[in-house]
Amino acid sequence: MSSRRITRSWPRPSARLPTRLRLSLIATILENRLCVQDLGEALDRSQPNISQHLAVLRERGLITAERKGRRVCYRLTDERLAQVIRLAAECCD
């Protein structure tokens, strides 16, 4: 695959980089499907704040939502992303 083709799929330079909270959200749902309320409690943030950041991650295709009754739970869209995160965490330990 050519580098030109690869870079076309990268976010625009003006795209915002992930915030610490978004990285924390991804790390928290890495192993389990969690609902907004659970994520808020785990990260000590309000439900509206968590929801706003989850919306950005969904728009970027990193997570997917699944309704369970009145609750919406989230998981990573691609297991390869989980593998990359796990490898990066191992390198940092």
Identify the pLDDT of residue 51. Answer: 93
Identify the pLDDT of residue 17. Answer: 55
Instruction: Report if residue 81 sits inside a domain.
Output: yes
Residue with tokens 């030109």: 4
Instruction: Report if residue 77 sits inside a domain.
Output: yes
Instruction: Report if residue 9 sits inside a domain.
Output: no
Rounded percentage of the chain residues whose pLDDT exceeds 90: 44
Q: Which strands, in side-by-side order, build the sheet including 71-76? A: 34-35, 71-76, 63-68
- Domain at 79, CATH number: 1.10.10.10
Residues of the chain with pLDDT under 50: 1-7, 13-14
Report the domain count for the chain.
Answer: 1
Instruction: Report if residue 3 sits inside a domain.
Output: no
CB 46 within 8 A of CB 40: yes
Identify the pLDDT of residue 58. Answer: 93
